[in-house]
Amino acid sequence: MAIRLVWAQILGIGMLVFSTLGCGSTQPAFTDAAHEESAIRAVMAAQVDAWNRGDLPGFMAGYAKSDTLRFASGGNERRGWQTTLDAYVTGYPDRDAMGTLVFDIRDVQLLSPPWALVFGEWRLQRAADEPWGLYTLLFRKTDAGWKVVHDHTSSGE
């Protein structure tokens, strides 16, 4: 069942990429790609800053505040902004559990307005351990700026 879900997610993202980058596409290009990538990186930098202050709602400001937000990690799928925040609060109840977050953004692909795909590594630096993993984020540019609408995060442990 889990394998089918992963393949469905991969197929969905693949179809999105194919449809936005397809042959003969008349999708408009980003007018200032460097500016858009910088804006996405700024969202993620603000998330790191909020996390490292212990501000989980501030961290969640980088996500679309929507019931359609999807967060997949550890074989679990969560739907919705509040559900995701609640899971973070449960999983990271205090500053010791949160540690210090570092994002290594390895790739930002501007697919087509208003979509972007970000791939990278996350790492938590804590006194007792240093968990890490990879993430793939689907961003959508909204009236409120760039927001994560789909987060697939894995653990490297």
Confidence band for 76, pLDDT divided at 50, 70 and 90:
very high
Judged against a pLDDT cut of 60, whether residue 16 lies above it is answered with no
Per-residue pLDDT at 92: 97
Per the prediction, the chain carries an average pLDDT of: 88
Pairing of strands 70-73, 145-153: parallel
Q: Which amino acid is at 96?
A: D
Per-residue pLDDT at 12: 52
Closest-CA residue to 63 (of 133, 130, 118): 118
d(CA 12, CA 8): 6
Is 137 inside a domain boundary? yes
Is 17 inside a domain boundary? no
Is 7 inside a domain boundary? no
Confidence band for 18, pLDDT divided at 50, 70 and 90:
very low
Domain interval for residue 75: 31-153
What does the buried/exposed string (b/e) look like for 97-114 if buried means 16 or more CB atoms within 10 Å of the residue's CB?
ebbebebebeebebbbee
Percent of the chain at pLDDT exceeding 90: 79
Is 77 inside a domain boundary? yes
- Which residues does residue 140 pair with via DSSP β-bridges, in sequence order? 115, 147
CATH number at residue 146: 3.10.450.50
Summarised one tens digit per residue, pLDDT across range 103-133 is: 999 999 999 999 999 999 999 999 999 999 9
Percent of the chain at pLDDT exceeding 70: 82
Is 38 inside a domain boundary? yes
99 Ramachandran zone, left/alpha/beta (phi>0; psi -120 to 50): left
Confidence band for 157, pLDDT divided at 50, 70 and 90:
low
Is 11 inside a domain boundary? no
pTM across the whole model: 0.81
Is 21 inside a domain boundary? no
Is 8 inside a domain boundary? no
Summarised one tens digit per residue, pLDDT across range 19-62 is: 444 444 445 678 899 999 999 999 999 999 999 999 999 999 99
| Number of separate domains in the chain | 1
Confidence band for 17, pLDDT divided at 50, 70 and 90:
very low
